[in-house]
Every structure is written in C-alpha cells, then in structure tokens.
Amino acid sequence: DAGVIQSPRHEVTEMGQEVTLRCKPISGHNSLFWYRQTMMRGLELLIYFNNNVPIDDSGMPEDRFSAKMPNASFSTLKIQPSEPRDSAVYFCASLDSTEYGYTFGSGTRLTVV
C-alpha cells in the first residue's frame, strides 16, 4: 500500500491566487482528515469527512477555505484567495474504523508570498 498520498509536496504562490491541495487516502479507509501545522498554533484539525460526507468543518479558518471529497479515493482543499498567513504545512490523514491509528500523508508545504 502506498499510504496516504498528497500533492503537491511544495507549493509557492502569490497572494490572491487560488491554491488546490490534493489527497488520496488509503483504499478502504472511510474517514479523511485535513490538518494544518504552523509554528504558532501547532497541528489543528481543519475538516473531517466520513464516507465522503463532511462531518465537522468547524476548524476551517474562514470562507476562503473549502474542501471536497467527490469520491472515496480523492479529496481537495482549496484556498481562494490565498494570503501569506495561510503559509503552513497541510496534512491529510485517513482512518479505517478498525485501524490501529491514523495514517498521515507527507504533507504539502504551502508558501504564500
């Protein structure tokens, strides 16, 4: 199994541009999470999907952020328009109901200049 796959690994964009981060969870995992890691706030949950349905998006910072999961094998996190304070590492994680633990992707390092 290739694990949780995120793309791109690094993204540098200018303020105001749209950014799309992608995640492919482990096949058969029915829960997907997006986390953000910053120096100031550590790791925070942004949104949680179960069976492709958003269950908890209370961590999404503001309307500029949106996430979708059109099918069990793909999710996107979009920021439009991006701002320098969005610079962070964004992690995707997936979980099976019988899984020992959450499996994290390698993350996308986003830099907004």
Partner 1 sequence: AQSVTQLDSHVSVSEGTPVLLRCNYSSSYSPSLFWYVQHPNKGLQLLLKYTSAATLVKGINGFEAEFKKSETSFHLTKPSAHMSDAAEYFCVFQSSYKLIFGSGTRLLVRP
Interacting residues toward partner 1 by CB under 8 A: 31, 33, 35, 42-43, 45, 48, 50, 55-56, 91, 93, 95, 100-107, 109
CB of 44 to partner 1, least distance (A): 8
64's tokens: 């500029």
CB of 109 to partner 1, least distance (A): 8
Task: Tell me the three state secondary structure of residue 97.
Answer: coil
CB of 81 to partner 1, least distance (A): 27
Please list the residues that pair with 89 across neighbouring strands: 37, 109
Task: Tell me the three state secondary structure of residue 30.
Answer: coil
Q: What is the DSSP letter of 47?
A: E
Q: Specify the residue, 18 or 56, whose C-beta has the smaller distance to partner 1.
A: 56
